[in-house]
Each structure stands twice: as structure tokens, then as C-alpha cells.
Structure 1
Amino acid sequence: MVDKTTQDGDGIRTYPFPVDLSVCGVGMQVVAMNSGLPWHQAAPIGRVHRIDFHVVMLFTGGPVTHMVDFAEYEMTAGDLLWIRPGQVHRFSRASEYHGTALTMQPGFLPRATVEATGLYRYELPPLLRPGPAQLAGLQAALDQLRREYEDITTLPLTLHTAVLQHSLTAFLLRLAHLAVSSAEATREQADTTFTRFRDAVEKGFATNHSVSAYADALGYSRRTLVRAVRAATGETPKGFIDKRVILEARRLLAHTDLPIGRVGAAVGFADAANFSKFFHQHTDTTPAAFRAELR
């Protein structure tokens, strides 16, 4: 196969849809993942790269760790991973991929179908975990699509392609519904998680600056807390805590005559020097200079 990969300005290679490996040259493939890489013979294991087409992987084993847009996702049996064109991703050297991979070339489906199935909604989560009934429907739709893909004897190519498009649409509509409902559930969970974290920080920032301590007290993993706070604020839990501490320190410096050391103690620093260092790191000025500017 001719290597048609390109290299972007950031040095990351982009792999095109391998039309020459597709049955009858149609704009999609359905293959078993354990038979090798599902798109490009030269796709690098363990190396970051891009693809210019859609990939949906339905896993029958695991755990499998896969990076998409520099976030690590861990899949087990019954999970799906949806990678969209242009997203950066990486196969794990330590994982064995088992299941079915669907690849689809942009332009294979009509525009109306593309919009209905949310093919380019990059804000939707790559990792999808369907319930038993959803998984059964998706698996049945994918199995039917694979049978149609492999059946090249009963229909002429034009009808074969049309049937594939209809079967693919049925699968993608199910997948899109799962993706949207998963995103809504994640947002609701993130909102609740962030609200509890925000309230806990408001009560405890004067004595507790530890992300792990907040996570433990709230009953969340550190990763769950990071995702929720980032979704709500765009920053890390540690950054959120530090901003609240700095806000209180500024208030005390501006509106009280407490000595610098007492201000530091009021926001959780037993040592005045450590407080001054922390304040300078976050404001580019010292507590004394900040107070002097306001008076």
C-alpha cells in the first residue's frame, strides 16, 4: 500500500482512510480488531498520530488503555470508543485490542445523516458505556452492518453501497443517542460533584488545601473530582482551592490591619514566609506590596 500519510506542523502524522483495504473500495470498513490494526498497516503502536476518518471500537475484552486528545481512557468488555477525524490518539503497547472496529470515511453518508448522527460533535465523550439493552441493540446493529459489508455477491455495487449506508445510519443513530445521553448524565454528575466540592472548599479553605483530602471527604476519586472541576471551571481542583485562598487573603489584606503573619494563618499558613511565597506565586506581588497599593 502506498504511504499517503501527511505530517502536520506539530510533527504528528495523519493517516488517511485506507480505501484500498476496504471491501469493493467502499468508504467504510468493519473488521475484527484482533486481526491487526483496523486501518493503516503503518499505524504506529505506542506513537501519537491522527486519522482523517471516524473510528468506533466495540470492545469484547479488556482492560484496554487508549489515549484520545491527550486524555487516557480505559475500556473493558461492552465499552465503545469513538474517535473522530483529526483527533490525536495513541494505541497502548501494553493492551490487547479485542472486538470490532468500524471505520468510516467522511463523505460516505449524506449531509442530513451526518447532522442527525452528530458525527462532528467533538464535545461529546469518546468513551461510551452502554447499558445491557443499549449494548444489545448496538451489537445487533453492528453485526448486521458487518454481514452487509462482507456480502458482495447478492447485490450490484451501487445497491450494496446503498444498503451499507442505511445499515450504518441505523447503527450511528443508536450510537449518537448513547453519546448524547452519556454527555448529559456526565454533566449532571459533574454539576453535582462540583457543587459539593465548591461548598466544601468554601467551608474548609482556611485550613484544608489538599485535593486528596477533599476527594476523600466527599467520597470521590481524585480523577472524578478533577474532571468535574475542569468541566465546571476549566481549571484543576488545586487551582480552584488556591484561587479561593488568594481571594480571602486579598480581602483580609485590604480590609483589616492584621499583620501579614496573622493573615497567612487565617488562610491556612502557619509560617508567614510560606504564605508570602504562595501569595507572590499567584499574584506576582508580595502581601505587603499589595496592601500598600490599596492604602
Structure 2
Amino acid sequence: MSSPASIRYVPLAGYGRPPVVIMPILNRTTGPGETFRPHRHDFQEVIWIHSGAGTHTIDGREGELRGPCVSLIARGQVHAFREMRELNGYAVSFTEDLLGGTPTGRTNRLLFNYSPGDRTFPVPPEVQRAAEGLLDLAEREYARARETGDLTLLRPLMEALLVLVRRSVFAGLGVGENAEVGLVGRFLDLLERDFVRHHDVAHYAERLHVSAKHLSRATNAGLGKSAKGLIQDRVILEARRLLSFTDLSVKEVTAEVGFADPFSFSRAFKAAVGVSPQDFRDAWKK
């Protein structure tokens, strides 16, 4: 079992000058015995697969990559590739301040929410056609920005890319783009701060000065899930991380995620994941 310190927390700063990294994935196939060490992202990442197939894990949950598709990895998630079979596409990583202050910045933040596990979505054909040219241009402009530090063109290219990501995500979720972006964004910020201490929708609705029903309507419209569901997702996500990547006992994990006793925690965890916390940990260690 890994200790928290042994999970590499990868910063974006080491990759280059601009607050974005665009790396092509060129006909990548996993070699015999090749393994990937799980690592924590200190940035947001979009993995856009044009063709090929493979598998990867996000917070210990395995997901499939089959092009064309787009996969989202949020800051703080633990990620690793497991297998790649002739994968082609791009890995686009960026810090949140890249889009700070832009018209779509707050909307784009909603893409990287706390839904559990793999967030991979098929890409509609018309979106894929637009993405291929856009990503090629963005890669060339990224190389230029590394030399000059000039983000004048790279920033709007990233905005345009995330518009295409949103179209794929919303098509996959079956929701529209008419979310109350400001309210949902403030809720996610508050959730990240308070999820250990507060598991009830009423706390968040009161702090945001809306009713619980209003808050859930907004999260359903923007993220396809109720406020209560998002709170539960965030709590269980943290529990999965601690059970998978630390040596904390189940009793200690219970306290870390804000449950009063191991029985209540075990019941909630099993309802969400399908197995008890101990069984989940035992299966992960195999």
C-alpha cells in the first residue's frame, strides 16, 4: 500500500513557460511489462483520443479509451495509464489561471467537477472534425509560446478547444448548456472546502442564499446530477483515494471523510461502491 507521500504530485510548472502543455500521442502502444506509476495532477488535463484504444485509471477506477473520445482529469485526481493500443491524439494540460478572467472560464471549470471515477465521453463526428485541425494548430502555437511566452493566440485556441469538450460532455450527459454557471461554480468551490464537515444540501443552499430545490435544479441542469448526489460523490471519492493510496485504517478514513462512526461510513460506502470499505481495499491491493 502506498503512503500519501509516495503518490507523485506532478506540477505543470516543470514542463515549460506557458501555463499549458500540449503533448501529441502518436501511435502509442504499451510495451511488454510496461507499467505506469499513479500520480496526482496539479493541473487540469484533457486527453483527446483521435483513434486507437486503451485503458487508464482515475482515482483507482478503470476506464476505457476508444477513439474518438475525450477524457477529463481534474486537479488532485490520481491517474495512470494501464494499456495503450495504437493510441493517437493529444494530452492537453493546463493550470486554472490560463483561462482566468475569460468569458468562458467559469463555465469551463464546471467540466472538472467531482463526479467519481472515469469521465470519458464519445466525441460526435462533427466535433471530432473540428478538433483535429484545432489541436494541430494549438500544438504549433504551443511550441511558439514556449519560445516567446506570447499567449495571444494560444489562449483563445484553448477556449475553443474547451467549447468542443463541453459539446461532447453535454451530449454524453444528455444535458443542455443553460446551467446557472455562477451558482454551480460557487457550490463546487464551497463543496471542496466543506465536504468533510457538511454532507447536507441545506448547509450549501443556506451559504449560497438559495433554496435546496433551486440548488439541485441548477446542478442537474449543468452537471446532470443533484446537489445531494454531488456531495455524496465528493465524499466517496475522497474515501476511495484514502483507501487506495494510504495506509490509514478504515476507522481513520471514517473520521477523515466526516462520518461519526465506521458503521455509518461502511453503509454509505457500500451503497455507492457496491462493496464494503475493507473489501474495496483488499481488492485494490491484489
How far apart, CA to CA, are the structure 2 residues paired with 1:8 and 1:85?
A: 19
Query: Structure 1 residues 173, 8: CA separation in 2 closer, same or farther (over 3 Å shift)?
Result: farther
How far apart, CA to CA, are the structure 2 residues paired with 1:78 and 1:115?
A: 26
**Cα shift at 1:8:** 7.1
Equivalent residue in structure 2 for 1:129, among 122, 129, 140: 122
Letter in 1 for 2:162: L
Runs of 5+ consecutive residues of structure 2 not aligned to the other structure: 29-33, 176-219, 226-270, 277-286
Q: Does 1:14 align with 2:47?
A: no
- Give the aligned partner of residue 56 of structure 1: 46
How far apart, CA to CA, are the structure 2 residues paired with 1:48 and 1:28?
A: 21
Query: Structure 1 residues 46, 31: CA separation in 2 closer, same or farther (over 3 Å shift)?
Result: closer
Q: Does 1:27 align with 2:19?
A: yes
How far apart, CA to CA, are the structure 2 residues paired with 1:175 and 1:92?
A: 23
**Cα shift at 1:169:** 0.6
The answer to whether the Cα contact below 8 Å between 2:20 and 2:95 also exists between their aligned partners in 1 is: yes
Query: Structure 1 residues 184, 30: CA separation in 2 closer, same or farther (over 3 Å shift)?
Result: same
Please list the CA deviations of residues 51-90 of structure 1 after superposition, one character each: whole Å capped at 9, or x if unmatched: 1112212223332011112221111221121111111111
Equivalent residue in structure 1 for 2:105, among 111, 114, 132: 114
Equivalent residue in structure 1 for 2:55, among 51, 56, 65: 65
How far apart, CA to CA, are the structure 2 residues paired with 1:181 and 1:121?
A: 17
How far apart, CA to CA, are the structure 2 residues paired with 1:20 and 1:48?
A: 18
Query: Structure 1 residues 86, 132: CA separation in 2 closer, same or farther (over 3 Å shift)?
Result: same
Larger-Rg structure = 1
- Give the aligned partner of residue 229 of structure 2: none
The answer to whether the Cα contact below 8 Å between 1:8 and 1:14 also exists between their aligned partners in 2 is: no
Equivalent residue in structure 2 for 1:144, among 137, 158, 181: 137
Runs of 5+ consecutive residues of structure 1 not aligned to the other structure: 1-6, 37-43, 192-232, 240-295
Following superposition of structure 1 onto structure 2, how do residues 66-105 of structure 1 map, counting pairs within 5 Å?
A: 66-93=56-83, 95=85, 97-105=87-95
Query: Structure 1 residues 131, 161: CA separation in 2 closer, same or farther (over 3 Å shift)?
Result: same
- Aligned-residue RMSD, C-alpha: 3.6
The answer to whether the Cα contact below 8 Å between 2:47 and 2:71 also exists between their aligned partners in 1 is: yes
**Cα shift at 1:173:** 1.6
Letter in 2 for 1:14: Y
Please list the CA deviations of residues 170-216 of structure 1 after superposition, one character each: whole Å capped at 9, or x if unmatched: 1112212321231237x9xx99xxxxxxxxxxxxxxxxxxxxxxxxx
How far apart, CA to CA, are the structure 2 residues paired with 1:8 and 1:108?
A: 32
Which structure shows the bigger proportion of residues in strand conformation? 2
Query: Structure 1 residues 108, 133: CA separation in 2 closer, same or farther (over 3 Å shift)?
Result: same
TM-score normalised to structure 2 length: 0.52
The answer to whether the Cα contact below 8 Å between 1:28 and 1:102 also exists between their aligned partners in 2 is: yes
How far apart, CA to CA, are the structure 2 residues paired with 1:92 and 1:10?
A: 22
Aligned length: 177
Query: Structure 1 residues 67, 95: CA separation in 2 closer, same or farther (over 3 Å shift)?
Result: farther
Query: Structure 1 residues 161, 99: CA separation in 2 closer, same or farther (over 3 Å shift)?
Result: same
Query: Structure 1 residues 162, 64: CA separation in 2 closer, same or farther (over 3 Å shift)?
Result: same
Query: Structure 1 residues 169, 184: CA separation in 2 closer, same or farther (over 3 Å shift)?
Result: same
Following superposition of structure 1 onto structure 2, how do residues 246-265 of structure 1 map, counting pairs within 5 Å?
A: none
The answer to whether the Cα contact below 8 Å between 1:63 and 1:76 also exists between their aligned partners in 2 is: yes
